[in-house]
Amino acid sequence: MNEVVQFSAGHEDLIHDVAYDFYGKRLVTCSSDQKLKVWDMDEDKGNWACNDSWKGHDSSILKVAWAHPEYGQVFASCSFDRTVRVWEEQDQEAKLGGRRWSEKARLADSKGPVQDLEFAPTHLGLKLATAASDGVLRIYEAMDVVQLGQWTLMDEIEIASLGAIGSMESANIGGGVDGMITRNQSNTGAVTSGGSTIAGSGGGLAGSGVAGAGVGGVGGGGAVTSHYCLSWCPSRFQPQMLLVGCGRENVAKVFRIDAHGRWSPGEQLFGHGDVVTSVAWAPNMGRSYQLLATACRDGHVRIFRLSGGGSGALPGGGDGGSSAGGGGPWQTAGAKKSTTAAGRFHVDLLADFSDHGTEVWRVEWNVTGTILSSSGDDGKVRLWKSSYMGEWRCMSIISAESANPYDPAMR
């Protein structure tokens, strides 16, 4: 990447999120002005041209995400109005007419503002995970990937612990096994369609536009009372897993689906001094371990490694080291390790950066999982990369407010 293209999005209020499509040639932006805007890259002119703009929700729109292009030009949006809406492009409609994107479905099961959403990796089918301020993670699946009008609520997962902060104890919602904090909804009725359009899932370097410096659970200038965020494990060689930032618990947790099809909590990523605002699970690209990243309101970007240990080891195991150390917060990168009570995986803190010096709102991996981008209230996007010695360093700083967007200070 050697050029920063600036353009006016034309929103009338704060832009909460920016998301690339799979190929990085389309953008969708969302704002507190309740509008969604889709942008196409004009390669001849080297700038972004507005495809369409329309009112997408009845309140501030917090997050957008594209589906894989094999399902067409489809994206989803979520809002303070407690709904998730799925949009699809209508090629027969004129651009800039306000009708080119049609709402195919409206999901209204949340009891509070929907703060994050992400489509599942394509090998899992057309699934959509959402996290709302009611502390419930919901997973939907499209029954007809052509019509997109029917989405079934497959699972509801209680992601907020009911006990002390950091406790793994939780309510047994669905009857069943103690400690299982999921309610299977596979037999529930489908959610029917609503009325307008949008699509999506990240391309580009930052995947889902960290330059938007989203504010997640902040609305109308108020403080964050609870904030939840999520990221799917992209590996097709692992069971379904999700990394979830768990609000006021100041922790991120790994949730996985077991042999009985139930979601249960696993490893916890400790050491955060405030609310976790963003999580990102790196593409694996043949590594014998998984890389996870978190952004936090304490001003830190943290990178964790999840590696094999015990009967539930990741294929290849290995790079996580032995099961040393306790499960408490880490003070320095790599200083301590932790395993869960089940002994399934090791968790190592590889890096802990406070360079932003203020709240960090977004982290995203590139498509190979080798470069991490982060953005915060300092108005800068920082790119992080591991050296051949395994030490993570800042490789570039991009300023959103400077005439010269690239900071010459390279480490």
Average pLDDT, the chain: 79
Who wins on pLDDT, 169 or 255?
A: 255
**pLDDT level of residue 405 (50, 70, 90 thresholds):** low
CB atoms < 10 A from the CB of 5, how many?
Answer: 9
Q: Does pLDDT of 355 surpass 70?
A: yes
Q: Above 90 in pLDDT, residue 283? A: yes
278 CB-near residues (< 8 Å, 6+ apart): 214, 216, 229, 245, 294, 295, 360, 361, 362, 363
Q: How many alpha carbons lie under 13 Å from residue 272 in its C-beta half-sphere?
A: 32
What domains, with CATH codes, occur in the chain? 10-226 (2.130.10.10), 271-411 (2.130.10.10)
pLDDT tens-digit profile of 4-21?
A: 788 889 999 999 999 999
Amino acid at 313: A
Give pLDDT, residue 162: 44
Question: For residue 258, what pLDDT band results from cuts at 50, 70 and 90?
Answer: confident
What is the model's pLDDT at position 4? 79
- Number of H helices and E strands in the chain, helices first, is 0, 27
- Is the predicted pLDDT of residue 199 greater than 50, yes or no? no
Mean pLDDT, residues 197-214 taken together: 38
How many CA atoms does the CB half-sphere of 239 hold within 13 Å? 15
The tens digit of pLDDT for each residue in 77-120 reads 999 999 999 999 999 999 999 999 999 999 999 999 999 999 99
The CA distance from 267 to 155, in Å, is 20
- pTM (predicted TM-score): 0.79
